[in-house]
Structure 1
Amino acid sequence: MVRVVIGGTFDPLHDGHKALLVKACELSRGGELVVGLTSDEMVKSKAHKVSDYRSRYDQVMQFIREQGIDPVIIKLDDPYGPTIHDDFDYLIASPETQPTAQDINRIRREKGMRPIRIVPVDYVLAEDGLPISATRISRGEIDEHGRIMKKCL
């Protein structure tokens, strides 16, 4: 049985997050999808306001279930979660999370564990050609779909 893992804050749940989650769903069909969702404690250092864990959990669960997958969502209190203890076949990573994915495999090698295959998913770009990000959305530059927000004069 294939095991896929992905981690993140996923708030607000934008098209970039959805691309990552869709890839995770595709790879996990017939297997297991484990989603590590950052705890409220972990998100305190974010530059923008983040919804509470329960709200983020509900949004991610609903989106993944709409893809026909029933995931296991676990709370992350550190950047690695179960990836440095449990075996997985695939680890989904954005360009932003790629360094953490590499760290995970380094730690796994040091522990004598086999590496997890990292599946990169490129940024989803906004209308202006820049990546969609929670920070840009929180600043009011773009919406969750990457549409440029109209500035009032």
Structure 2
Amino acid sequence: MRKRYRKVVVGGTFDRLHLGHKALLRKAFEVGEYVYIGLTSDEMIRDKPYAEKILPYELRLKDLLKFFEVNGYSNYRIIKIRTAIGFADKMKSLEAIVVSEETYKGALIVNRARKEKGLKPLEIVTIGLVRSSLGPKISSSLIRAGLIDPLGNPRKIGSP
């Protein structure tokens, strides 16, 4: 089956790879022949909630590589990013950006930056949020806070 786009981009911290991350990445591979993944640098995450608990870049990279291997994904490139826009305003050949409802505004910022540089805006492919048993979404912040596990289930008191 032919993919909708030749080259798509997706970005994030991808800390403690959870069901929401996996849904986002699967959608990127579903719609794109080749997927560029912008992975946030350690410097970029200092202001995130529970930043001190975010896994280092190398471990987050390793988790992504393991996920891609297990799922048989091969047409991708992971690029370390140091800003929210990363490389998305420099690559003319990109056609689409894959985001969640929560990160949709980031896609608009990327498109504004592309427009300023004379590049065509990216098509925006949006996925819904993956719910957790504690609320509207699974998030790395809730996992880092020890409230849920990567599947969105509540953590038992005293469990790691």
TM over 0.5: yes
Residue 11 of structure 2, aligned match among 7, 10, 19 = 7
Distance 1:27 1:67, change over 3 A: farther
Partner of 2:39: 37
Alignment partner of 1:45: what SS?
coil
Amino acid at match of 2:90: H
Q: Which runs of 5+ in 2 are unaligned?
A: none
Residue 91 of structure 1, aligned match among 94, 97, 101 = 97
- How do residues 38-117 of structure 1 correspond to structure 2 at under 5 angstroms? 38-48=40-50, 49-70=53-74, 71-86=76-91, 87-117=93-123
Alignment partner of 1:84: what SS?
coil
**How many angstroms does 1:123 deviate by?**
0.8
**How many angstroms does 1:129 deviate by?**
3.8
Partner of 2:139: 133
Amino acid at match of 2:16: P
8 Å contact kept, 1:127–1:146: yes
Partner of 2:151: 145
Report the RMSD for the aligned CA atoms in angstroms: 1.5
8 Å contact kept, 1:3–1:90: yes
Relative to the length of structure 1, the TM-score reads 0.91
Aligned length: 150
Partner Cα distance (1:40, 1:146) in 2: 25
> Where in structure 1 do 4 or more consecutive aligned residues deviate above 6 Å?
none
Partner Cα distance (2:86, 2:136) in 1: 30
Relative to the length of structure 2, the TM-score reads 0.87
Partner of 1:122: 128
8 Å contact kept, 2:7–2:36: yes
